[in-house]
A and B are shown apart, each in its own frame.
Chain A
Amino acid sequence: MRASLYRFNWIMFAAMLALIAVGTVSIWSAGNARAETVFHGMWLSNLATAGVGLVVYFALAFADYRKILAWTSVPAYAFAVVLLIAVLAFGSKVYGGRRWLWFFQPSEVAKLCVICLIARLFGGEGRRGFGWFALAAALIAVPTFLILLEPDLGTALTLVPAVVLMLFAARVWRRGLVTMLATGMIAAFALLGAVYEAERPGVTEARRERILRWVPLKSHQLSRVKVFLFPEEDLTGAGYTLRQAKISIGSGGFSGKGIGKGESNHLKYLPQSISMNDFIFCVYAEETGYIGSLVLLALFAALLCPCVWSALVSADGSGRLLALGVATLIFAHVWTNIAMSIGLVPITGLPLPFISSGRTFLMTVMAGLGLVQSVSMHGRETQK
Chain B
Amino acid sequence: MKREDSIVSDLSCWAVMAVFVAGLAVLAVRLKEVQVDGAPDYNYEKARQSVRRVQTAGPRGRILDRRGRVLAENRRALSIVCNAAVFRKRTWDATESAIAEAVSNVAAVVGRPSPLTVRAISRHVRQSLAMPLVAWRDLSEEELARFSEHSWLHPGFSVAETEERVYPNGCLACHLVGYVGRDRAHGEEGDERFSFREFDLCGRSGLELYYDGFLRGVAGEKKLLVDARGFSEREWVVSEARRGPDLCLTIDADIQRVAEEQLAGVRGACVALDPRDGSLLAMASSPGFDLNEFVPMLSREVYSRYLDDPAKPLLNRASGGTYAPGSTFKPVTALAGLEMGYPADADYDCSGVFALGAMRLHCARRWGHGPINIKEALKVSCNTFFCNLGMDIGTNAVMSAARAFGLGERTGIDFPDDRAGLVPNDAWKRKTYGERWYPGDLAQMSIGQGMLLASPLQMALVAGAVGTGYLVTPHLKYGVPPARRALPFSRRSLEIVREGMRLVVAGGSGSLGGEGVDAEVCGKTGTAEYGLGENRRKNTWFIAYAPAGAPRAAVALVVENGESGGGTAAPRVAAVLRRIFNAR
Contact = CB atoms under 8 A, between A and B. Distances in A.
- Do A and B make up one complex? yes
Interface residues of B, number: 43
A254 B13 contact: no
A263 B39 contact: no
B46 A251 contact: yes
Contacts of A320: 6-8, 13
Interface stretch (B224-232, B285-293, B557-565): B224-232
A269 B9 CA distance: 48
Nearest to A298: B24
B32 interface: yes
Contacts of A312: 3, 10, 13-14
Nearest to A332: B23
A254 B31 CA distance: 10
A25 interface: no
Interface stretch (A65-73, A110-118, A212-220, A321-329): A321-329
Contacts of A269: 46, 49-50, 227-228
B27 A297 contact: yes
B12 interface: yes
B35 A327 contact: no
Interface string A299-337: 011001100110111111100110010011001001100
A335 B30 CA distance: 12
Contacts of B31: 249, 285, 290, 293-294, 297, 338, 342
B27 A331 contact: no
Interface in B55-114: none
A315 B13 contact: no
Contact of A300 (B13, B24, B227): B24
Interface of B: 1-3, 5-10, 12-14, 16-17, 19-21, 23-24, 26-28, 30-32, 34-36, 38-39, 41-43, 45-46, 49-50, 225-229, 233
A7 interface: no
B7 A305 contact: no
Secondary structure dominating the interface of A: helix
Contacts of A297: 24, 27-28, 31
12 contacts: A169-B12, A250-B35, A250-B38, A252-B35, A254-B35, A289-B35, A305-B20, A308-B13, A313-B3, A316-B6, A331-B20, A382-B2
Interface string A221-237: 00000000000000000
A305 B17 contact: yes
Contacts of B45: 247, 250-251
Given A250-B39, A289-B35, A316-B6, A324 B16 contact: yes
A32 B511 CA distance: 89
Interface stretch (A121-129, A146-154, A180-188): A121-129
Interface string A88-129: 000000000000000000000000000000000011110000
B7 A170 contact: yes
A268 interface: yes
A264 B46 contact: yes
Given A254-B36, A269-B50, A335-B23, 18 more contacts: A168-B12, A247-B49, A248-B46, A249-B42, A250-B42, A264-B46, A267-B50, A268-B229, A269-B228, A285-B35, A290-B31, A293-B31, A293-B35, A317-B6, A324-B16, A327-B16, A327-B20, A382-B2
Contacts of A314: 6
Nearest to A312: B13
Contacts of A208: none
Contacts of B1: 315, 380
A249 B34 contact: yes
Given A321-B8, A327-B20, A339 B27 contact: yes
B8 A170 contact: yes
Contacts of A124: 7
Contacts of B35: 249-250, 252-254, 285, 289-290, 293
A168 B3 CA distance: 18
Nearest to B18: A308
A196 B203 CA distance: 59
A330 to B, nearest CB: 9
A228 to B, nearest CB: 14
A364 B31 CA distance: 28
A171 interface: yes
Contacts of B27: 297, 335, 338-339, 342
